[in-house]
Structure 1
Amino acid sequence: MTLFLKRISSVVLLLSLIMLSPAWAEGRDFLVDADWLTEQKESNKDLVILEVRYHPHRYHTVGHIEGAVQVQRFTDLGDNLAKPIMRFPTKEKFEQTLRSWGVNNDSTLVMYDDSSTALVSRLYGMLELFGYDMSKVKILDGGTIGWTGFNELTKEPTPAPKEGNVTLKEANPQLMVEWMDIYADVVANRKDNIVLVDARPADMYTGATIRHAVQGGHIPGAINIVSLDGVEGQSQTWRSAEELEAMYKDIPKDKTVYLYCHDGFRMSLGWLQLKSLGYKDIRFMNGGWPAWDGAMTLPIVQGDKPYDDDFSL
């Protein structure tokens, strides 16, 4: 073999290894870094930057990326008049919210938060739920920490954008389940093709801590996988594909996965993590734990096992 052919062969082998490597196969092309966003700010006239802070007032007091539009995580990402309030809004309500942010059908959306991408995962999931072109939606990995490592925030208010004209679709029923579905599929009928995941912290799952709830514990049959464990705490960047695979190793990829949490953010992060790993059928519980907990009469399990004695037979 000539030296030229050997070099070509080596290059082909290297490219093959890269394409098969976890970095290539992670399925996370929606994650971008600060350099990417900086370039887009300069070159993309259709760019819309959205900030979702845990404490929304920090958009003003701490600052935001220049040009970012504030997203208020409860009023903008839930049905304000529903019980619980974090049920998904109607298509019409969410469409009007997006338009108020200046979003058009051809807008490139880049969103960031200060909460390990849990908050923007909710927004990302809602965009997919209502049929937005997800090839145009990106998440700033590391959020405010990733940006402020090399850039500054501004306290100057972003001028109100020109109202957009985005048009959404009706909510995709294949991405959402109600409490009745979970009661029927998991609690009553024990369907073996369904896995129910509680994405909250372990102490809330077991019932040791009652926070943002009336009761402690979990829905019978739920396993606990804490979605925030999939993000590096200090940098708030996503962990590697291998680490996420290890987190979700007990869930076969041919199963249907139902996820819930307290207010729709942790479950959305879990949904996005599973999606990045190649899971195909992943669904949000509309209303989350408050929909189950607030009913007061639905069964609840406490402890670190999916089922207690009442449900073990």
Structure 2
Amino acid sequence: MKLIKTLLVAGSLLLGTAHAAPSDFLVSTDWLEKNISDPKLRLIEVSVNPGVFERGHIQGATNFSWHTDLVDPVRRDIVSQQNFEKLLRNAGVNNDSTVVLYGDNNNWFAAWGAWVFDIYGVKNVKLLDGGRKKWEAENRPLTPVAIQHAAGNIKVGAANPKLRANLGDVVAVANKQSDAKLVDIRSADEYNGKVFAPAGVQELAIRAGHVPGAANVPWGQAVAADGTFKTVDELKKVYGAVGIDGSKPIITYCRIGERSSHTWFALSKLLGYDVRNYDGSWTEYGNAVGVPVSNPAGTVWGGK
């Protein structure tokens, strides 16, 4: 009996330091290569760099362009329910499909895709842990040849507003009218107002800085050197160090909502916290009139 108890305790310790149920939300590169020919598998690449899919992608993958396929082409909004269902059916996604998303830049936009999938209630959606970065680093095969899947039959539900934060939700936190916790996942220089945005980007805001009360945990602190997510225990320590422990609702934001969706995935899917992604992020908040801003660096927009 004593031996059994010892084994159970040891097993629980091992589980505690492992990734959170990877089979539920993550798949490894090994798993994907072994299951690449599964007829129920639908692989979707969502990358940010133009042409990367065409130069070479994982066998059987369909390419989704985040800035045209996953958003409304006219309104600043996510893709509509009708258009999203059409997009998925054209990619061969069925109601019983297993969807695996992956992309470049440590899965930034693949995580955005996972967030959109979740908003519309699509089940059995996972990220390739480590994304293209890990797949390529391991010299796994890529192909430039795209295939056309037979049309799928998936039915997409109505959007779930509980997974999405808006400007009013964030202002309420800034004005201490809400007990939600804000996580700003941008770089320290963006957070402190030293720069308005990362070098070379087009989306800018009139004001620099961050939402008052937001904790700064740059998105990269959630991943290991190979681009895979850190273990559950490691993630809890990273966010717990700034008071993010799941005891209060959480809102993540960045500049346009893509890096924050990566943190949304870590906090929501891997840690099981109550999290909303604010996709308006700093390009909306930093351009809004009359909202409070914290700008430690004191940088003022010069119109240049």
Q: Are residue 128 (structure 1) and residue 132 (structure 2) matched?
A: no
Q: CA deviation at 1:67?
A: 1.1
Once the two structures are overlaid, the 10-residue window that deviates more, 159-168 or 292-301, is 292-301
Residue of structure 2 equivalent to 1:35: 30
CA 1:147–1:299: 2 relative to 1, 3 Å: same
Could you list the per-position Cα deviations for residues 32-89 of structure 1 after superposition, in whole angstroms to 9, with x for gaps in the alignment? 11221122123x211111112221311112x111111111121122222123xxx322
TM-score, structure 1 as length reference = 0.84
Once the two structures are overlaid, the 10-residue window that deviates more, 97-106 or 273-282, is 273-282
Q: Are residue 106 (structure 1) and residue 96 (structure 2) matched?
A: yes
Q: Percent identity?
A: 32
Larger Rg: 1
Contact 2:162 2:276 in 1 (8 A): yes
Secondary structure of 1:117's match?
helix
Contact 2:90 2:152 in 1 (8 A): yes
Distance (Å, rounded) in 1 between the aligned partners of 2:285 and 2:102: 30
Could you list the per-position Cα deviations for residues 205-257 of structure 1 after superposition, in whole angstroms to 9, with x for gaps in the alignment? 11111223123212233221112221134x21122323311221111322011
Contact 2:194 2:297 in 1 (8 A): no
Residue of structure 1 equivalent to 2:132: 144
Q: CA deviation at 1:8?
A: 5.1
Unaligned runs of 5+ in 2: 198-202, 299-304
Q: Which amino acid aligns with 1:31?
A: L
Secondary structure of 2:255's match?
coil
Residue of structure 2 equivalent to 1:236: 227
Residue of structure 2 equivalent to 1:248: 239
Contact 2:36 2:59 in 1 (8 A): no
Q: What is the RMSD computed on CA atoms of the aligned residues?
A: 2.3
Runs of 4+ in structure 1 deviating by more than 6 angstroms, as ranges, are: none
Indicate which of 47, 51, 55 corresponds to 2:49.
55
Once the two structures are overlaid, the 10-residue window that deviates more, 30-39 or 239-248, is 239-248
Contact 2:164 2:276 in 1 (8 A): yes
Contact 2:232 2:271 in 1 (8 A): no
Residue of structure 2 equivalent to 1:166: 154
CA 1:13–1:251: 2 relative to 1, 3 Å: closer
Indicate which of 203, 213, 230 corresponds to 1:221.
213
TM-score, structure 2 as length reference = 0.86
Residue of structure 2 equivalent to 1:154: 143
Q: Are residue 203 (structure 1) and residue 197 (structure 2) matched?
A: no
Contact 2:255 2:282 in 1 (8 A): yes
Contact 1:33 1:146 in 2 (8 A): no
Contact 2:232 2:270 in 1 (8 A): yes
Distance (Å, rounded) in 2 between the aligned partners of 1:247 and 1:18: 19
Contact 1:118 1:228 in 2 (8 A): no
Distance (Å, rounded) in 1 between the aligned partners of 2:173 and 2:223: 28
Q: CA deviation at 1:90?
A: 2.0
Unaligned runs of 5+ in 1: 306-313
